Structure 1
Amino acid sequence: MTKAGRFLLIALTLLCCAILPAHAGVADGPGANLEVSLITYGPGDIYWERFGHDAIELRESASGEEVDFNYGVFNFDEKNFFFNFARGRMHYLIDAEPTTDEENFYVQAGRSVTKQKLALTPQQTAALRDFLLWNLRPENAVYNYDYYVDNCTTRVRDALDHALGGVIKARLTQLPGGMTYRQQTVRLMSAQPWLMLILDLGLGPYADQPLNAWQESFLPEELQKNVRNIAVSDGRGGTQPLVQNETLLSPNRLDAPSATPPDLRIPLGLAGLIVAVLIIVTWRYAQLAHALLGSLFLLLAGLTGLVMLILWTLTAHHSAWSNANLLLFNPLAFLLMRSTWRAHRNMVPSRFANSVLLLQLIAMLLAPLMHLLPDVIQQNQPWILFALPCWLALAWSLRKPHTSLHT
């Protein structure tokens, strides 16, 4: 190419660059071109998906770029991940993905996807964008996860509230919540009954405190519902709904969680009666089976109490602290296991075992009496109904010699 030809090509390139519009993206677009939406994903089938998920979507109208910011990422390869998880020091972080990629994952999984476009001013939108980008920096991305007060939804809620100058919190703290942490947990985990029972057993009084709508917005579906009650300034001296429009982008194709938590009192009460009857029947007709059944109950009671005690004293799982179920199941049960085999040999418990058994019965009877006190809020009636007949039947069988049946 000649020198004149090269000059002409450069000139044409510069001319094209001058006349073609240059579009900024989400990261650098003006606030007036940014649209903010709350994206809510419905619960999934796997137990860690049962609470749902959400994200903040930013869309740059000129370029059409859409990015989802979510706070639900964790890394199994992190050093001491499972040890930190066990002691309640879980590390989560924020992530940003193209909206299409993020939403396609949930659509393919059959989970609902709902988009709520929010009314933020250009200044608020730009401030939200700048905060999210700041949060994405490696030194700011990680946070200490808490199931109820600092999770992927509360981080989204707090980011939106901060951008709006505290409007969301001011409104939602005035509204009562519909359920407690325990009720929401049991409701959402009811599809996995064994895990639901373990969680209900392990939750302490913290999970039964009355909640306002702000606190209950730790769940994506509750935040989605509650932002509909928020009004913001319209810039003309009036107000307008924060949610400008709401669109169901993809319907739920999975079994939806129950709208109310199951009542565990009847099934656990019946289970306790069945175990008690089995203890008495095996004591009467199959002493070896009685010893095995009694040892199994005491082993499980002791292990359960040991785990609850560890959660209270050695971990940061504050929702499991001060668990009154320790009155029902505790490590004292280990000290009684030998007595089941003494009973098998038609021997009464030792004086030490009798003292331990008496102490356990007193503790067990204190559990229902605590509900008469004004400041006791832990709702553990189902486990009282289960444990009471089991312990009474076991105590009766350990202290009654078999020979008394044949005189």
Structure 2
Amino acid sequence: MRSHLKKLFIIYPFIYSFIFLANAQEYQISLLTCDPGDQLYSAFGHSAIRVLDRVNNQDLVFNYGTFDFNTPFFYVKFTQRTLDYMLSVSTYERFLYEYNYYQRNVREQVLDLNPEQARQLVQFLQVNYLPENRFYRYDFFYDNCATRIRDAFESILGKKLDWNEEVNPENKTFRNLIDEYVYPLPWADFGIDLALGAVIDVNAKEREKQFLPDYMEAAFARAIIVGDGPNRPLVKSSHVVLEFPERESAMELFNPYFVWWILALGVMVLTFLGFKKKRLFKGFDIILFSVLGLLGLLIVLLWFFTFHSQTKYNWNILWAFPGHLFLAFALLRNNIKSWVKKYLLFALILANIALIFWIFGWQSFHASIVPLLLVILLRTNFLYYNWEKFKTLEKE
């Protein structure tokens, strides 16, 4: 009997070690980080979770960044933030095929999860992939393909996940973070700055920066797992999966800075000629204030009639004001009403207030609007101080 017990005590550790190693190799969990693409929807990069299931011989990628272009009223829903994104699953091979086709770099961080943590994460993803759970209401800053992954690991690891944040990180606003990625797309950069309000001009916390895949990759590289034996890095190993030559990102000549400054110079010449010839060229002002008024309507729609939290308190409305449409319509008439002169002064004051908001940092505007503000100030001044001449010319 004693000899059998002795053999059992000798064999048991080996049996236990074999079972532990077998379980440890059941799942390998990785974070995949993909570099930005050329289109706006891919300009910020992408994140996904790779699950290598050695028991069932499956190599899958769980992707929270999927949406359906065929959704009815796709662009309306996207604008209103009523478009649902979903969790999709594909093979690792198929996932890489797409990024290889578009020549976008992909990096992998293999995570050092214990068998139970890996199993819980896979179960979490499987439950999320159920038809009733896979859809979610996308939010660019707070609920996207990257933050969903971060939240999944926080849910599974709880207090055992220490992000090990930098003591003195560089302060960056949400707008600063976006600008890092849209600089090669100047018109998209202009449109984003036009559409998003002052709420994104606040410093993002280190955890909040993880809405961008590159920043989440860096956060995973710093993170450690605590309270689960000796402290260990969350990332066990890292390697490059796909790598392509770096692309040049020179800004195109046709960009907001160039276009608006050319416009401003043209308006200066037009105004100078009008002063010399005693003409106001109101046709230009009708077009100018019509465009500004339409932009103002768009800002109002995004501010008050969508579910986007980032489009609130958008002080671009100070220079792109919807009321400018009334001015444009008034200038179309032969008999100009007396209130038009008062409105010109009002528009002039609004443009100056916009500059004050910018100077004091209450909202950061796109730098290319400087010539637009100059155009507004110049034309409102010119029309206001030449009001009597304007009326006389209209009677003639």
2:363 maps to 378
Cα distance in structure 1, aligned partners of 2:359 and 2:37: 39
Letter of the 2:321 partner, please give it. N
Deviation at 1:274, TM superposition (A): 2.3
> CA offset at residue 52 of structure 1?
1.0
Cα displacement (A) at 1:215: 0.7
Task: Give the counterpart letter for 1:226 in structure 2.
Answer: A
Q: Distance in 2 between matches of 1:78 and 1:272?
A: 39
Residue aligning to 2:319: 328
C-alpha RMSD over aligned residues: 3.1
Q: 1:109 to 1:386 in 2, by over 3 A?
A: same
- Cα separation, 2, equivalents of 1:314 and 1:177: 35
Aligned residue for 1:305?
296
Q: Quote the residue 1:94 is aligned against.
A: 87
Quote the offset at 1:108 in angstroms: 1.9
**Residue pair 2:163, 2:219 contacting (<8 A) in 1 also:** no
Could you tell me which of 298, 308, 312 is aligned with 1:317?
A: 308
CA–CA separation in structure 1 for the residues paired with 2:318 and 2:209: 29
Give 2:121's aligned residue: 128
The TM-score, its normalising length taken from structure 2, stands at 0.82
Matches within 5 A, 1:138-287: 138-166=131-159, 168=161, 171-172=164-165, 176=169, 179-233=172-226, 235-236=228-229, 238-253=230-245, 255=247, 270=261, 273-274=264-265, 276-284=267-275
8 A Cα contact 2:160 2:226, kept in partner: no
Contact 1:73 1:95 in 2 (8 A): yes
1:377-399 deviation digits (Å, cap 9, x = unpaired):
31127366234311221123323
State which of 45, 55, 78 in structure 2 corresponds to 1:52: 45
Q: Deviations over 1:347-386 (max 9, x none)?
A: 8x5321012112222222222333576xx53112736623
Between the aligned partners of 1:291 and 1:191, the Cα distance in structure 2 is 36
- Secondary structure in 2 matching 1:37: strand
Counterpart CA distance in 2 for 1:205 and 1:167 is: 36
SS of residue matched to 1:300: helix
Name the CA distance, whole Å, in 1 between partners of 2:54 and 2:365: 52
- Tell me the CA shift for residue 174 of structure 1: 6.9
The 2-side partners of 1:368 and 1:239 are apart by 52
Q: Deviation digits for residues 66-105 of structure 1, max 9, x if unmatched? A: 1110101111233333322121112000011111111121
Structure 2 CA distance, aligned partners of 1:384 and 1:220? 30
Change (3 A) 1:63 1:138: closer
In structure 2, relative to structure 1, the CA distance for the partners of 1:248 and 1:104 (3 Å cut) is: same
Which AA in structure 2 matches 1:243?
V
What secondary structure, in the 3-state scheme, does the structure 1 residue paired with 2:81 have? coil
Q: Given residue 231 of structure 2, which amino acid in structure 1 is its aligned partner? A: T
TM-score (norm 1): 0.80
Q: Secondary structure at 1:382's aligned position in 2?
A: coil
Offset of 1:248 from its aligned partner? 0.6
CA distance in 2, matches of 1:307, 1:169: 43
User: How many residues align structurally?
Assistant: 364
The 1-side partners of 2:341 and 2:162 are apart by 55
**Alpha carbons of structure 1 residues 100 and 57: separation in structure 2 relative to 1, 3 Å:** same
Deviations 1:97-146 (A, max 9, x none): 11111112101210001000111111111110000000000000000001
**Which amino acid letter does the alignment assign opposite residue 234 of structure 2?**
L
Distance 2:276 2:143 in 1: 54
Separation (CA, whole Å) in 1 of partners of 2:197 and 2:92:
39
Would the alpha carbon gap of residues 272 and 314 (structure 1) be closer, same or farther in structure 2, given more than 3 Å must change?
same
Q: Is the 8 A contact 1:120 1:164 kept in 2?
A: no
Unmatched 5+ stretches in structure 1: 1-28, 259-263
Whether contact under 8 Å (2:162, 2:226) holds in the other structure is: no
AA aligned opposite 1:319: Q
Match of 1:391 in 2: 376
In 1, Cα distance between equivalents of 2:259 and 2:315: 17
